[in-house]
A = this chain, B = another copy of it.
Amino acid sequence: MSLLVFGHKNPDTDSICSAISLTYLKNKLGIEAKACALGKPQKEALFALNYFGVDAPEIIDSASGKDVILVDHNEKIQTIDDIDSANLLEIIDHHKVDITTDVPINIRVMPVGCTCTIVYTLFKENNIEIPKHIAGLLLSAILSDTLLFKSPTTTELDKKACEELEKIANVNKEEYAMEMFKAGTSLDGYSIEEIVNMDFKEFNMGGKNVGIGQVFTLDIDSILSKKDEFLSFINSTNHDILVLAITDIIKEGSYLLYKADDSIISSAFDVNANQGVFASGVVSRKKQLVPNLTEIIK
């Protein structure tokens, strides 16, 4: 196979799904092509692939001498190392660009939320029917990149695409997105200690040693169901104060587990403190967790 279609290094759901979907379209248009990836799909993309019964693309580390189409990226630093010895035919992307070519090639860049929205547009333009499994992958990527339309990068075209894709894929996009986000942010397989220390920083606040850990997950239930084990570990540490923020990016807030007086948490986050309390609007350690706690711990 001499025409390879692939997304960026450290592939996200869009890079995986746009490569597979565009390859399907090219094949339907009579062009031999193969979807590839520059790394292992992450949990979220694996969930989507599994849900719609699609194999993960082959992982490659060279495109030397091959014809290539880049999806979901255009900059050299993000692509395969030996891109200069490949024959670049086409770029489909939704990012800012930094492209220099020696000859004219096909380039399609649109300021939309997701490359898969462009691929959806290409299906329409070429009047090719979108089958269920491809609709599912396109939908997954758009929901992922736009964070279920919560991201400011979301456009009307992203929403319009999802309206149709949701029907073809035969899923409810809100429910499906939550399932996918949960799978993608699942902390299964990590120990209590690993989760607390996953992204942990220490601060000196008013002479006290304060540790603040933060994890982003939508699989809140599985964390809170182990509340007692988390608290047992948190209380065993040698920090004067420790706050673990379990941030839910869809609800735009954080559930808090802590080693601290309730009064500190209540004052810092304007909540009625109790273990696992939801601090609405608190999503950033740098901009909220740290300054709010610093203000109170004197």
Contacts and interface: CB of A to CB of B under 8 A. Distances in A.
| Copy total for this chain | 2
A105 interface: yes
Contact of A107 (B97, B100, B104, B112): B97
A1 interface: no
A96 B103 contact: yes
Interface string A74-114: 00000000000000000001111111111111111111100
A261 interface: no
A109 B111 contact: no
A296 B89 CA distance: 47
A22 B21 CA distance: 30
Chain A interface size band reads: 20 to 34
A125 interface: yes
B100 A110 contact: no
Interface string A29-64: 000000000000000000000000000000000000
Which 10 residue pairs of A and B lie closest in terms of their CB atoms, listed nearest first?
A: A107-B109, A104-B111, A98-B100, A96-B101, A125-B125, A97-B101, A96-B104, A96-B103, A107-B107, A97-B99
